[in-house]
């Protein structure tokens, strides 16, 4: 039953989107996009916090790459 509901919701979203597009409403944003824009615009950041966030992101990326590389190497051995 869950699959049927998901298919119905997907079709309903498609119909709503097509209806809005046929009425000429192309630039409407979803609630998620509006929330992200507000979060980005209201977040005051300085150069030091930007650098700190960049370092944190780089560490996370390096860790993910290392995990993926090790997983590939282990799977191919």
Domain range list for the chain? 47-77
pLDDT of residue 8: 94
Cα separation, 40 vs 50, in Å, equals: 13
pLDDT above 90 for 36:
no
pLDDT of residue 14: 92
- For the full predicted model, state whether its pTM sits above 0.85: no
Q: What is the dihedral of CA 17, 19, 21, 22, to 10 degrees?
A: 160
* Mean pLDDT for the stretch of residues 47-65: 94
Cα-based distances in Å from 18 to 6, 14, 15, 21, 76? 18, 6, 5, 5, 46
What b/e readout covers 41-71, taking b as 16+ CB neighbours within 10 angstroms? eeeeeeeeeeeeeeeeeeeeeeeeeeeeeee
* Mean pLDDT for the stretch of residues 48-63: 94
């Amino acid at each position: 039953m869950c699959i049927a509901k998901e298919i119905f919701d997907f079709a309903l979203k498609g119909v709503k989107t097509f209806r809005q597009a046929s009425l000429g409403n192309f630039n409407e944003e979803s609630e998620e996009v509006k929330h992200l824009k507000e979060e980005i615009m209201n977040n005051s950041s300085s150069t030091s916090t930007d650098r700190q966030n960049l370092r944190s992101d780089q560490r996370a990326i390096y860790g993910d790459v290392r995990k993926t590389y090790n997983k590939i190497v282990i799977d191919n051995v």
